[in-house]
Amino acid sequence: MSATKTISFTLNGAPVTADVKPHHNLVELLQGQFGLTGARETCGQGLCGCCTVIVDGLAVSGCLYLAAFLNDGAEVSTVEGLDTPAKLSPVQEAFVETAAFQCGYCTPGFILMVGQLLDEHPDPDDDQIKHYLTGNLCRCATYPQVMEAVRLAAKKRKAGAAA
Amino acid sequence: MTPFELAEPTSLKEAIKLLDPDDPTIRPVGGGTALMLMMKAGVFKPVKLISLRRIENSYSTIAATGDGLRIGAMTTLAALERSADVKKAAPLITRTLKTLSNIRVRNVATVGGALAHGDPHMDLPPVLMALGATLTVMGPKGERKLAVEDLFAGYYETVLDKDELIAEAHVPAHGTKKAAYMKVTTGSADDWPALGVAVVLEGDAGGIKSARIVASAATDKATRLKSAEAALIGGKVDDTLLAKVGDAAADEAEYIADVRGSISYKRELMRVYVRRAVRAALEGAK
């Protein structure tokens, strides 16, 4: 049978240790051992973006990423780590203010991918936004509002950096 | 997924020792993005996976060589996409990656995996084949060179033994050659393609001196279309010549039907897209 492996890593800024089974993916680890349900396995094929997790600064599809791939010392971030009890992140604020969701199911994945987009392109044009979000599906079809949210988030980030 | 064991060797040699030429339930895994789909679908139930993620870091690097690129097999597609060396020596690869799956998959999937998986729908195999890339393959008896053109044996099949691993890819620089890759997605824009066509040409619209035309996705494996190449060489490239090239390609390829199109539909796609890809290569890519 499969042997469990112990991995110590950072989850949303806090040091944690997890016992990982080889056949568990990252979503199963986050949900099963840490109660984090922001990343959800949905299409299960890396197409929809609902399972987006940031590992060592890069977005991955948590449903296609074996939990055992995490290195000791890895930095893992999920949507739950973006806000504080007092304040949402600029991207989260922008999504709320532009109503860039309806049911909200895909929103965590979108928000994490937009964070990555703005890290790479602080002032993205429409092509860059579409390119980055190709792998995120919104079945409520709030894509026009998402585009608006990204532009607003870019402004908010800049204002934050200037302040 | 059903439980399995995971071995994490720290060298390529050690990884090869852990593979078994006679046991198909033991398989290497790189990024795992393609293999996971098979495992989730229950098509593949491994007893043991050999992770290549902790082998020597040199297999995750890209280097410019005198005449092109050396790309470690564990290089992620995202690293390939962002490499200035790749953009300079083989801009066709950089352009292809922009529409290959999505960013999350590219962040994890590897060059070696895209080749060794033998999936005819992938974009990198036809492009590397058209560029004349070769591989260094390592096995228990040492290393051998293999042209990407000779890698694929059939639908999800390669000529690699089960205890052989792709270590590196060597890609000749484009130089003055003209290159294009076009794909047709009949579902959503980011779906797997119904057809991929890669074209690398020497010459100009006045006359082509050499050509490599490779089709994928519509076929059971990435395939060079040699009669289309022959039809293209020599004459002035105009609508008449391109029609002959498209017809030759359509006649030569062997098609597979799937949810993305019937055989007759893909044959017509081939006729049209080989022409378009040649034209795109000659016109130069943006």
Closest chain A C-alpha to B57 CA, distance in angstroms? 14
Token pair 């990656």 in the structure block, residue: B97
pLDDT(A59) > 60: yes
Q: Is B186 on the interface with A (CB under 8 A)?
A: no
Q: Provide the pLDDT for residue A163.
A: 62
Query: pLDDT band at residue A2, thresholds of 50, 70 and 90?
Result: low
Q: Provide the pLDDT for residue B58.
A: 98
Every domain of chain A with CATH number 3.10.20.30 lies at: 5-80
Q: Provide the pLDDT for residue B269.
A: 98
- For B163-188, the pLDDT digits (tens) are 999 999 999 999 999 999 999 998 87
Q: Provide the pLDDT for residue A160.
A: 86
Lateral strand order in the sheet of B68-72: B62-65, B68-72, B165-172, B134-139, B142-147
What whole-number distance in Å separates Cα of residue A69 and Cα of residue A53? 13
pLDDT(B17) > 90: yes
What whole-number distance in Å separates Cα of residue A35 and Cα of residue A46? 22
CB contact under 8 A, B33 and A64: yes
Answer for the pair B242, B205: CB distance below 8 angstroms, yes or no.
no
Interface of A to B at Cβ within 8 Å reads 1-3, 5, 21-23, 25, 44-47, 49, 52, 58-61, 63-66, 68-69, 113, 116, 131-132, 134-135
Q: Identify the weakest region by mean pLDDT among A69-73, B26-30, B172-176, B184-188.
A: B184-188
Amino acid at B106: R
Q: Provide the pLDDT for residue A102.
A: 97
CB contact under 8 A, A44 and B103: no
Nearest to A129 by CA among A109, A108, A143: A143
pLDDT(B105) > 70: yes
Answer for the pair B180, B92: CB distance below 8 angstroms, yes or no.
yes
For chain B positions 188-217, those within 8 Å of chain A (CB to CB) are 189-190
- For B206-263, the pLDDT digits (tens) are 999 999 999 999 999 999 999 999 999 999 999 999 999 999 999 999 999 999 999 9
What whole-number distance in Å separates Cα of residue B264 and Cα of residue B268? 6
**In CATH, A5-80 is 3.30.565.10:** no
CB contact under 8 A, B102 and A25: no
* Average pLDDT estimate for B127-152: 98
Q: Provide the pLDDT for residue B188.
A: 78
CB contact under 8 A, A22 and B49: yes
Q: Is B187 on the interface with A (CB under 8 A)?
A: no
Structure tokens at B106: 């590219």
* Average pLDDT estimate for A97-123: 97
Q: Using a CB-CB distance cutoff of 8 angstroms, which residues of chain A are in contact with residue B3?
A: 1-2, 21-23
Answer for the pair B198, B177: CB distance below 8 angstroms, yes or no.
no
pLDDT(B125) > 70: yes
Token pair 């894509």 in the structure block, residue: A143
CA torsion angle B90 B92 B93 B96 (round to 10) = 170
* Average pLDDT estimate for A135-160: 96
Token pair 């390829």 in the structure block, residue: B253
Percent of chain A, pLDDT > 70?
98
Of A22, A116, A132, the CB nearest to B5: A22
What is the rounded average pLDDT for all residues in chain A? 96
Query: Helix A107-120 vs helix A143-162: angle between axes, to the nearest 10 degrees?
Result: 50
Closest chain B C-alpha to A163 CA, distance in angstroms? 31
What is the rounded average pLDDT for all residues in chain B? 96
Task: Using CB atoms within 10 Å of the CB of residue B254, give its burial: 0 to 12 exposed, 13 to 18 middle, 19+ buried.
Answer: exposed
**In CATH, A90-162 is 2.30.110.10:** no
